[in-house]
Amino acid sequence: MAKKFLSLIIVPHCAQRFKTITLSQKTLKLLGAIAIFGFVALVSFLVDYFAMNVTRSKYKILLSESSQQKRLLAEYEDSIKRLRDTVKNFENYAKKLNVMAGLRSPEVMEELGIGNGDTTGIEPTEPGAGPSVPPAGQTVSLQEAKALAQKAEDVGKNLDVLASYFESQTIKLASTPTIWPTIGWVSSPFTFRDDPFTGKRQFHYGIDIATNFGNPIVATADGIVISMDNDKMGGKNVIISHGNGLTTHYLHMSKFLVKSGQRIKRGDVIGLVGKSGKALGPHLHYEVRLNNKPTNPYNYILEEEQ
């Protein structure tokens, strides 16, 4: 059987002789196989190339996200460290306030979140040492962050208790007779004396403040006027209740400037100095009583002596 051939005739444009290329069937099959293999290799290369581009793009995105997350973690760690220092400062401040408030009992301190209990998940090195601080560069753990949040909550509760305490103390201080009731000089203190009318030795349950007739008399603390009277001994007198069994008494007034049942503030003018009742001259007899028992007004007055 005759062999089959493929002849390619190349005819040039110029007046040269044409060329003839003869290819056998075997050669054609070989060239076809090579072409197919080259095409498949090219397609595989292109697919791999585009896949690598996609992978490279994803890698760049992941690398960028990882870098951002590292920066965020570093910022969070710095923030937590600053918060730890802030909470520690607040804790120390709360301890000072507790001492100022007189809350020195260990049971009370522990109840208010100021005890030595383990609130950071890390044991203190010694009693009262507080939470330990991780070495520089050590990553803040989630457990420590939660413990720090609990510590902040405990300190916040303690400060709330202290705020309520000092608020009550403010109310108590406002209701304590701490100022002079009028301007003058003390002519008779809280002590034994000879009665100016009888000459007998007896105790003087208040202080007499000699001053000009008509000088204003002020309430020495917040309270309510519970009594207004005019008798032979005390003359025109006012009694103010300040709560907790504490009352102040103002005697020998010349004029009332308040009404019974009126609520007043420290410094409000309640009347004028006079010499009504048993008095030799214009002065104010001033008393402080606790549960109706006379006490020395000097023990309450915080102003400098007139």
Same domain, 49 and 155: yes
Q: Is the pLDDT of residue 117 over 50?
A: no
Residue 15: inside a domain: no
pLDDT at 156: 79
Q: What is the CATH number of the domain that holds 227?
A: 2.70.70.10
DSSP the chain: -PPPEEEEEE--SSSSPPEEEEEEHHHHHHHHHHHHHHHHHHHHHHHHHHHHHHHHHHHHHHHHHHHHHHHHHHHHHHHHHHHHHHHHHHHHHHHHHHHHHT---HHHHHHTT-SS---SSS--SSTT--SPPPPTTPPPPHHHHHHHHHHHHHHHHHHHHHHHHHHHHHHHHHTS--S-SSSSEEEE-SSEEE-TTT--EEE--SEEEE--TT-EEE-SSSEEEEEEEEETTTEEEEEEEEETTEEEEEEEEEEE-S-TT-EE-TT-EEEEEB--SS-SSSEEEEEEEETTEEE-GGGT--SPP-
Residue 242: inside a domain: yes
Q: How far is CA 115 from CA 106, 127, 130, 239, in A?
A: 7, 10, 9, 46
Residue 292: inside a domain: yes
pLDDT at 140: 58
Tens digit of each residue's pLDDT (9 = 90 or more) over 195-219 = 776 778 889 999 999 999 999 999 9
Same domain, 230 and 168: no
**Which of residues 30 and 182 earns the better pLDDT score?**
182
pLDDT at 292: 93
Domain total of the chain: 2
Residue 39: inside a domain: yes
Residue 305: inside a domain: no
pLDDT category, 81, cuts 50, 70, 90? confident
**Which of residues 287 and 14 earns the better pLDDT score?**
287
Same domain, 53 and 162: yes
pLDDT at 177: 93
pLDDT at 112: 47
